[in-house]
Structure 1
Amino acid sequence: MAFASPAHAQTDSIALETVTVRGFVPERFMSGLKIQAIDSAMLAQARFQNISDVLSTFTPIAFKNYGPGQLGTASFRGTSANHTAVLWNGLNINAPTLGQTDFSTIPVAGFDRLSVQFGSAASIVGSDAVGGSILLGSDVPKSPFHISIGRQEESFDNRQTRADIRYVTVLNRQWSFSGKTAVYDGRMNNNYRNPVRKGYLLLPTETFQKGIVQDLFLQAKNDREISAHVWLTDNKLTLTPDDEQGREMTRTTAYRTMLRYRVRSLTLRTAWVRDIIDYAKGDLSQPDHSVTDKIATRIENDFSLRPGAKPNPLSIKTGSEWTHYRSRVPGYVYSPVAENRTDVFLLTRWQPASRITVSVNLRQGFVTGFNPPFTPSAGVEHRLIRKKLYNLSLKGSYGRSYRVPTLNERHWKGLGNPDIRPETGWNKEIGIEQTLKSTSGSTWRASVTLYHNRVKDWTYWNPSRSYRVENLQQILARGVELQTNYLHTTELRQAGVDAGYAFNRSSQEKAYDNYSEEIVGKQLVFVPEHTAYVNAFFQHKSTRITGQFQAASRRYTTFDNSQFLDGYGLVNLLAETTISLGKVRGRIQGQIRNLTNTFYLNVRNNAMPGRSFALSLTFSYDSQ
């Protein structure tokens, strides 16, 4: 498909024999939860962009973006930036110091699969999954040999380059070897011809980004697999680089490595991650240097039971994960600090009837100095109507969430709180979706989801106490999400529309002191109540034109909602075509971003760029 469409954990209620699911696929046990898979065609179209560009275009998630190449964080269903779990091949890669991920440092070149899980999934993925989860995965290459290299030139003297090679070979009767090697490099110089828009400055910045991804797979015919994954990334951001006194430099470097072994239904995994943050202001030659190491091991086993006389088996995944953190940060009371986390889990999936799927999941975490809550969840999906051309499904889930406080929240000198309590909450949601197909080649999908997420002991940098960390707030996030898409396909042409809208009402419920009394019931800062997107495309043979629209309502910048940034709507236009010469393909794409030159402000209260252009050219060769 040429646009993203919701894909759910259960899309077929027909009873099948048990099969081994390769890799980490948590969606299998997420019955009742809303899951949206971003189509591979869209990832290819956005090959020179980062993950926040893709998700803001095709999902109702609100992003806080400081500008091109700068910090980008997600507000998932009305929660804050550290309430979204980001998993790379099943490993949570949120920085333990910050408890979040800067989405501007994750380019599309870094992964093969992207799925979005809405709502709490702590029983499945662990801490941080309060508002939702972002799932990144690596695929086993299929083609014997494939190579691709591309370059994009953009306005403001910005440019992106990426290349990848995929390969498969048969070693002998038993084993085959495959892999992917990808490299990327980006330069965001942001040289604005007119650095002032309607009296507001465009913040001068420079961002340099580079990385390498290496995936290797060794597979045997007797259902064994060994895989190794490496992702090295380096991102350097400098604010006001020409101001020698006021300039700020933040450099984030990540070394992510993983080794996985699977024999039939048993999987063993070990990983090592090092996150490095260098920060300096004024004199950039001697930055503060923070290093955090993460060592994680995981063991899990899949098996099936057949309760009673039912023909459909009960699928079970059980296992344990142990993680060790060690962090050296100059701002901590003492350094280094260390922490151990252990999780044990039991995930189940069962079809008691051909149209019903049920998941019941259990998790218990153990953390040094903390007592995380027992985390259960239950979900059910019922296909009310199942016909050849029409399907109607009802789903719902209820589950507990939690978030372990970050290392910064506990150990930062003068502001951290070693007695801070873990956050805990309960998430409820219910949704209905339908799929209608026609004999003429059209497909229409639509879904409605309502959610209610109450979080207690919300961690808060309290402004009334010089921003010391405290458990002050009980937050209630509730809302509704509407998504629909339409696709019509003929022999030579395709056309489609993908649209979505979300209403997110997120506010504090209780007053803990005199300061918080006046903000009870007020919308949380930088969380828009309304977000929407529309994408439409038309394709004739190998040429496609795509129009994109995304909008967000006002975002409050003060807790009492007395000040705010105006809402905005952005329009992008893309045109691309592919030329094939045998097994060689050339793909050229042109983009106009912010077509209407809309003026809007970001979270820094600085103006965002106006209309800009991008032109890319990609060559590829496939041996098949």
Structure 2
Amino acid sequence: MLSEERQIVMKRLFTLLSLVILHQFSAQESLIDTVFIDNQFNKVGKTAKISRINSEKILENSTSLSDLLRFQSNIYIKENGRGATSSPSFRGTGAQRTAFVWNGINVNSIFLGQGDINNLNLLSYENVGIKFGGGSVIYGSGAIGGSVHLNNTLDFDKGFHGSLFSEFGSFGTLNSFIKTKFSNEKLSFSFSANHSKSDNDYEVAEKKFINRNGEYQNTGFNLGLAYKINENNEFYWQTQHYDSDQHYPIFDENQTKTKYLVQTFRSLAGWKSHSNKIKNDLKLVYLEDNFQYFGDINKAKSNGGIGKQYIVRNDFDYFVSNKSSFNLISEYQYNQGEGYQSGIQNPKRNQVNLSLLYRNEQLAKFYWELGAKYDFVEGYESPFLFSASGKYKVNDWYQTSINISRNFKAPTFNDLFWTPGGNPDLKAETSYQAEMSHYLSYQNFKLGITPYYIKMKDMIQWVPVTPAIWSPINVDKVDFYGLETELSFNKNWTNQKLNSQISYSYTKAIDQETKNQLSYVPIHQINFNTNYQYKIVGLFFQALYNSKRFTNNTESNFLKDFLVLNAGININPIKNIQVGFKVNNIANQIYETVNYYFMPKRNYAVNLKLNF
């Protein structure tokens, strides 16, 4: 444990550093037009492999974030039946090694160290970004396989506009949202509300499976505000409230029905300012996660908890020249938890993170950056982290990039304090990663090829100590390696356009002790998406193939491979009105992403979108 004196010294150093940075603003010369709340995402995109999913693409898989990531990314999604507990496997690394980043802030649970995708409502966000590969220098614990970025936007001088969306689907499913925005030269305001619900009582007769007790509903509210203090200084605020009631499927009517309730509150206030040589972004953040598990929906809660995070984050850029800069990211966190019927009492943690990056683009065809980070974390020894990356444009049709980094995942409150079984002596997981991307383009075609390698040490794994008690230990060494490729075609003609992309992932996740592939990691995965627009009619088609997946660290038990096809049509009969219809799982494929929990067969949805 860190001494009280050391904690006080670190807090004072952090406060002093923030004050020094904030007093560096001088002559104001250029105009701020748009608020980029996650201002690091565009920076890392200069060398790292990233993917952006805009609001129109989101509506193609509006049921859940699970569906969106499953059909429009290379991330494997494990879902205990549609709408139930869902987690990602990014490059085979598992849920706890994927960071979920809300407007630039890592929001993985301080209890579990991961995000439940089906409790991150997709309709709360205006765009989704995906960063492939390690990013712990910037985004902290868990950013090993990659990170998923959930963003809201604020613009100036756009007037008033809004949209209303409602979708009705099979199994009594309703997804809807309303969004409004107003902005002038000084003020930007946005508000949105969304609601999703479903009886979710689908059946797979061939497997004698009924998704009993699978209903869910959730509601979210988002409020954003930005104000220009003057031409080079602005204040912004983004807040979100989310409330969910999620039932867990049972296999027999005589089983006890269970459910899981979640209430999330996030609030972020920031101040951006810049002069000729300096840019600064100061964020004050409060995150709160409440959850309650009911072992019997007709009785009081069985266990639960509340987690609170107080964060001060400062992102300071000093431009040595127009082509090079130093970027200092300093962050202080105070994490506090309170468990109920879990043995966790009131764990607390102080943490100070300091990251320094240098970026350089002196040569017209070559861009590179170096990064280093050190965490002062109460309760465990934290590793020194680094990153190095560069991109070189060889000619008009070929460019290449390389990324090398050391990343980590901190032990969570459950890992350390769960009773019985928690292990306060756990080390942080560390990993070394290297990847090299190649990008080729010819006319309307683009091809990307990225081989990668991740070597992980001290992987945290829960193992049985007795038949009734499990405990986490640092045991595993795992190597992850593979290849990701994407081929896209984009073409615009008079009154029509076509956008298509096919991606293929080869993923090996090998336990160095057993030499077997880790569970629920498909070796082969293929995604295909195409959109065709002709005047007022738009068509889209999606295909997803996953090879067989082992359900434990042996090769004797596995889930069969599957191919799922979706298609939809959108029509704009008059201006500002869009009507859509889609069919999911056209071929009636029977498939599982987690053992015993079958996903829906063919199902339908119709939607209406109004812009005003």
> TM above 0.5, one fold?
yes
Find the partner of 2:359 among 349, 356, 363.
349
Find the partner of 2:406 among 400, 405, 409.
400
Alpha-carbon separation, structure 2, partners of 1:577 and 1:37: 24
Alignment of 1:569 with 2:563, yes or no, is: yes
Deviation at 1:285, TM superposition (A): 3.7
RMSD: 2.0
Deviation at 1:539, TM superposition (A): 1.3
Alpha-carbon separation, structure 1, partners of 2:440 and 2:259: 49
Deviation at 1:244, TM superposition (A): 7.7
Amino acid at match of 2:383: P
Q: Which moved more, 1:31-40 or 1:124-133?
A: 31-40
Q: Which moved more, 1:418-427 or 1:137-146?
A: 137-146
Alpha-carbon separation, structure 1, partners of 2:213 and 2:183: 45
Give the conservation status (yes or no) of the 8 Å contact 2:372–2:386. yes
Partner of 1:456: 457
Partner of 1:122: 136
Give the conservation status (yes or no) of the 8 Å contact 1:109–1:182. no
Partner of 2:206: 197
Alpha-carbon separation, structure 2, partners of 1:69 and 1:366: 38
Partner of 2:432: 426
Give the conservation status (yes or no) of the 8 Å contact 1:141–1:180. no
Q: Could you give the per-residue CA deviations for residues 31-70 of structure 1, whole angstroms, max 9, x where no partner exists?
A: 4321112244313444x33222222222111111122211
- Give the total of aligned pairs: 572
Alignment of 1:169 with 2:206, yes or no, is: no
Alignment of 1:543 with 2:533, yes or no, is: no
Deviation at 1:321, TM superposition (A): 0.4
Find the partner of 1:91 among 105, 124, 127.
105
Partner of 2:495: 492
Amino acid at match of 1:215: G
Alignment of 1:299 with 2:314, yes or no, is: yes
The change in CA–CA distance for 1:200 and 1:109 in structure 2 (over 3 A counts) is: closer
Superposed, which structure 2 residues align to 1:503-582 within 5 Å?
Answer: 503-510=506-513, 520-581=514-575
Alignment of 1:256 with 2:266, yes or no, is: yes
Deviation at 1:180, TM superposition (A): 1.0
Alpha-carbon separation, structure 2, partners of 1:159 and 1:445: 37
The change in CA–CA distance for 1:245 and 1:238 in structure 2 (over 3 A counts) is: same
Superposed, which structure 2 residues align to 1:311-326 within 5 Å?
Answer: 312-326=322-336
Unpaired runs of 5+ residues, structure 1, are 1-16, 171-175, 307-311, 438-442, 511-519
Find the partner of 2:589 among 578, 591, 598.
598
Give the conservation status (yes or no) of the 8 Å contact 2:389–2:404. yes
Amino acid at match of 1:343: N
Alignment of 1:483 with 2:494, yes or no, is: no
The change in CA–CA distance for 1:30 and 1:497 in structure 2 (over 3 A counts) is: closer
Alpha-carbon separation, structure 2, partners of 1:125 and 1:239: 32
Partner of 2:391: 381
Q: Could you give the per-residue CA deviations for residues 148-201 of structure 1, whole angstroms, max 9, x where no partner exists?
A: 11211100111112111111135xxxxx11111000111111133x45333344
Alpha-carbon separation, structure 2, partners of 1:380 and 1:284: 57
Q: SS at the partner of 1:433?
A: strand
Partner of 1:446: 447
Alpha-carbon separation, structure 1, partners of 2:591 and 2:226: 46
Alpha-carbon separation, structure 2, partners of 1:334 and 1:78: 30
Q: Could you give the per-residue CA deviations for residues 454-496 of structure 1, whole angstroms, max 9, x where no partner exists?
A: 1100000114654311111001000000101101111111123
Deviation at 1:281, TM superposition (A): 1.1
Q: Which moved more, 1:67-76 or 1:107-116?
A: 107-116
Q: SS at the partner of 1:329?
A: strand
Alpha-carbon separation, structure 1, partners of 2:534 and 2:201: 37
Superposed, which structure 2 residues align to 1:57-206 within 5 Å?
Answer: 57-142=71-156, 143-170=158-185, 176-192=186-202, 194=203, 196-206=205-215
Partner of 1:232: 241
Deviation at 1:221, TM superposition (A): 4.0
Amino acid at match of 2:365: R
Deviation at 1:367, TM superposition (A): 1.1
- Percent same amino acid at aligned positions? 22
Q: SS at the partner of 1:602?
A: strand
Give the conservation status (yes or no) of the 8 Å contact 2:559–2:595. no
**What is the TM-score when the length of structure 2 is the normalising length?**
0.90
The change in CA–CA distance for 1:395 and 1:240 in structure 2 (over 3 A counts) is: closer
Q: SS at the partner of 1:275?
A: strand
Give the conservation status (yes or no) of the 8 Å contact 1:196–1:202. no
Alpha-carbon separation, structure 2, partners of 1:134 and 1:607: 26
The change in CA–CA distance for 1:239 and 1:333 in structure 2 (over 3 A counts) is: closer
Give the conservation status (yes or no) of the 8 Å contact 1:202–1:609. no
Alignment of 1:336 with 2:346, yes or no, is: yes
Alignment of 1:32 with 2:41, yes or no, is: no
Alignment of 1:275 with 2:289, yes or no, is: yes
The change in CA–CA distance for 1:216 and 1:495 in structure 2 (over 3 A counts) is: same
Unpaired runs of 5+ residues, structure 2, are 1-28
Deviation at 1:208, TM superposition (A): 0.8
Q: Could you give the per-residue CA deviations for residues 362-413 of structure 1, whole angstroms, max 9, x where no partner exists?
A: 1111111112111011001000112xxxx21011111100110111011110
Q: SS at the partner of 1:559?
A: coil
Deviation at 1:331, TM superposition (A): 4.2
Alpha-carbon separation, structure 2, partners of 1:592 and 1:94: 33
Partner of 1:502: 505
Alignment of 1:608 with 2:591, yes or no, is: no
Alignment of 1:41 with 2:32, yes or no, is: no
Alpha-carbon separation, structure 1, partners of 2:407 and 2:465: 28
Q: SS at the partner of 2:528?
A: strand
Amino acid at match of 1:276: N
Q: Could you give the per-residue CA deviations for residues 113-133 of structure 1, whole angstroms, max 9, x where no partner exists?
A: 321111111112111101001
The change in CA–CA distance for 1:300 and 1:524 in structure 2 (over 3 A counts) is: same
Q: SS at the partner of 1:43?
A: helix
Q: SS at the partner of 2:166?
A: strand
The change in CA–CA distance for 1:558 and 1:372 in structure 2 (over 3 A counts) is: same
The change in CA–CA distance for 1:205 and 1:22 in structure 2 (over 3 A counts) is: closer
Give the conservation status (yes or no) of the 8 Å contact 1:18–1:313. no
Q: Which moved more, 1:611-620 or 1:245-254?
A: 245-254
Alpha-carbon separation, structure 1, partners of 2:282 and 2:594: 43
The change in CA–CA distance for 1:19 and 1:525 in structure 2 (over 3 A counts) is: farther
Give the conservation status (yes or no) of the 8 Å contact 1:150–1:617. yes
Superposed, which structure 2 residues align to 1:409-424 within 5 Å?
Answer: 409-424=415-430
